[in-house]
Amino acid sequence: MRLGWRWCLGHRHVARGFAARCGPLCLCGARRCPSVSDQTRARIHPPSVPPAQQEASPDAAAPSPLELRNRQLARASVDSAQVILMDRYRLRSPEDAFTLLRSASQHFNIKLHTVAELVARIAGPDIQDGLWFPRRPRTAAPALPGLGVARDGQQSHSAVLKAGLHRVLHITDTGMGNVQLVGNGMLRLEKHTGLNREFTDFFAFVHDAGTACAQAARQRQQVTVKNVESADVFDEDSRHAILQAGSRAAHSLPLIGRAGQVLGIISSHHEKTLRGFSQTQLTALAATGAAVGRWLHWHRQTVVLDALEHLHAQATGTNGKGPDRPQ
């Protein structure tokens, strides 16, 4: 059965392009983590119980293949990070590893999966060192002109993404849109408004080159789709998911980091077909993409690494001093 999984950044196509532009990490130039023991991995992933032996509630509806895919992808980075942390710090259980991840996530007000992805992608510190990144430079958060982010929210990941989405929808004069961020070679849906459940489930994790966001990410430039129904850029599954949500046109804006890498996409969706946008609108959109991209780069190099420092200090019992957590 065809499941309609032609998501934006294809595992074979665009993900390789990202690796070529961003490097294997998009962060610090660090090496990938070494492999961990099979014993430790088995403690996270015990042998599965055959379906015939599993107890199921008679009232529970079976999850769809799409739901199963989303659950698996949502858990993948967390499971990998638990394995690594158990092996690195000789933790007794996966729960201990999860506690470290959750503490770092909550203390610095960032998504747990963000912490997990970086644990899985960055080479670990010397266990004897008090700091994971002892010589990294520190800079203030970059300005966010035109986004209207309150001063106390300028270090908040959620506040900045919300403001960026609001700004794009204001410029493009629509009430539907979404934000996707790059992680693990795909785009992950982070924020959305005005879009229904079928749309958000379908595009929760974007993996294949069948939509405008893939083209915008690949080309690192804005892409306007004036008519979703007839545009060649969409595969049929993606086209259906967009049309059923009431979108007849779309615009995708890449969020470009300081080094020129694509860190995410903000897309607007429109109830009617488009003639296009004026140069004034396109210029304002480009400025928004650049501002949010610079901020995301700063956040990954500063707040996210602070969270990893916090995790390392807790795991080793050191007094590695980190900055105050963002509000």
In order of start, what are the domains of the chain with their CATH numbers? 151-299 (3.30.450.40)
Q: What is the pLDDT of residue 302?
A: 94
* pLDDT band with cut points at 50, 70 and 90 for residue 265: very high
Least confident of 20-24, 251-255, 274-278, 298-302: 20-24
Report pLDDT for 47. Answer: 44
pLDDT of residue 36: 54
Pick 289 or 68 by higher pLDDT.
289
The per-residue pLDDT for 184 is 83
Out of 161-165, 182-186, 226-230, pick the least confident: 182-186
pLDDT of residue 64: 86
Predicted pLDDT at 300: 94
Q: How confident is the model at residue 40 (pLDDT cuts 50, 70, 90)?
A: low
Q: Which pLDDT band holds residue 257 (cuts at 50, 70, 90)?
A: very high
pLDDT at 45 (0 to 100) = 54
Average pLDDT over residues 126-139: 85
pLDDT single digits (tens) 168-194: 999 999 999 999 999 888 899 999 999
In the prediction, which pLDDT does 130 show?
79
Q: What per-residue confidence (pLDDT) applies to 165? A: 98
* pLDDT at residue 21 in the model: 37
Lowest mean pLDDT across 32-46, 70-84, 201-215, 281-295: 32-46
Higher-confidence position of 35 and 253: 253
Model confidence at 293: pLDDT above 70 = yes
Q: What is the pLDDT of residue 65?
A: 87
Across residues 288-308, what is the average pLDDT? 96
How high is the pLDDT of residue 37?
A: 54
pLDDT value, residue 319: 55
Report the pLDDT averaged over residues 137-160.
86
pLDDT (average), residues 239-249: 97
Across 38-52, 102-116, 279-293, 310-324, least confident range: 38-52
pLDDT (0 to 100) of residue 57: 52
pLDDT of residue 43 exceeding 60: no
Q: SS in 3 state form for the chain? A: CCCCCCCCCCCCCHHHHHHHHHCCCCCCCCCCCCCCCHHHHHHHCCCCCCHHHCCCCCCCCCCCHHHHHHHHHHHHHHHHHHHHHHHHHCCCCHHHHHHHHHHHHHHCCCCHHHHHHHHHHCCCCCCCCCCCCCCCCCCCCCCCCCCCCCHHHCCCHHHHHHHHHHHHHHHHCCCEEEEEEEECCEEEEEEEECCCHHHHHHCCEECCCCCHHHHHHHHCCCEEECCCCCCCCCCHHHHHHHHHCCCCEEEEEEEECCCCCEEEEEEEEECCCCCCCCHHHHHHHHHHHHHHHHHHHHHHHCHHHHHHHHHHHHHHCCCCCCCCCCC
